[in-house]
Structure 1
């Protein structure tokens, strides 16, 4: 441990142990997956919290050797045992950009939103807002940060299923059919919410690959046709969850995009239902929902009128 602390200090990092971990220090070779909760705090007197993974509903998953934009995190987690809690003080100039990506992911947005058309990090730091006042302030006035890390588990390479964002392009291509089939299996078992997550992951893989192709090119179109049945399956899950407007948005987008050209492809694919039937069911649900809302409003209006009629002096 003394050697690890010495190494951290040589890199300008101060570690404070909050709670001992269990077992031996894992072998953090490339491909190791560390799952942990983190809280990022400013190091000034106020100590304001910038980010907290617990508020996002899931812990951070970091795979070593994948060139994560915050290399210091690989350095600090490599000194921790499962169950350990520690705080690290270090200066991280790139944290505002990384934080924005993490916040986008938590909000279901593209993690690179707003970053693709910049001509370098320095230009973005000088001229662009990150869309978050606290990150803009940190970008203008950098200061050391405190990372409060709670290590949950450490998994060796080959012992876990990689998340789509951590895969190489080749791994994504191979994984999509497997993820798709897993989603179909979960749906048939009635585990609709889990199935939706699988379809979403498969779509994310293909979208990531599609972003690297010229829009309208043969490869781009082929990827788009692969996305369509997955998106329809995702919509079916959302329909079961009664999230009708999201379904309407996606299905309308598909129909407007292809204008009937891909109907044969959809019917011959692994989509779980015909799109026309889906839309018919969807509009029926929406109509019922609107009628119920109208009835509720009328009932509320009647109750209000009755109460006003019983008011003293009337």
Structure 2
């Protein structure tokens, strides 16, 4: 997996420290009260479900941030297919440190593994088509870095990370701008004025809007929003490979294969990050 630009050491450290501050506050008083400071122990990460494991690399960073002397013996890597009873890793060191890191490690890995599992499953349903699975910005505030990372681990493709690294002219942008042409032309003028180079995606709702985009040009992808498969096929034929295409809007496990067969290049699914059930994991002393 190629490391995406948002996965910098600085960004990960900032996330981990903020999450630990939220959880620990002025101290992990349960561990400080009950466990001797010099006590040492070990625990293993037990998988209690089936899916795709994600967050192992992040767990290493969390343990290191809590206590640099904690040792992690890794048994399974990110992206591994797991089943009930598998052991992902063993962590050994100060007992207080293991307990302090436990919940953040589990919270991150359970949700990341759920997203990776869903991504891998939906990607498998696109076998035999050229369509690639995209995520969206429908993420948990302050947890996007982990959710986007999990999509990559599961075999999906990241859409833009935020509002700053790509332009998507959605329906409201088009309506507020007065139509497709003025929205695109204003965007070109803005990019020229600010000397920015950003990809431009335009959302379309009808074949007439698709034609308007084709008439103007100067964009990087056409999004086909909430179109039925028959309409998607028409749109793909109309575009005729002049621009990459993306299907979006209400696409589910039951419909994604048919959407993929329409010939679109990408399919974006918000449910990848906003509607998953965590994979059951547990950090157990032994």
TM-score normalized by structure 2? 0.28
Q: Which has the larger radius of gyration?
A: 1
> Which of the pair is proportionally richer in helix?
1
TM-score normalized by structure 1? 0.26
> Which of the pair is proportionally richer in strand?
2
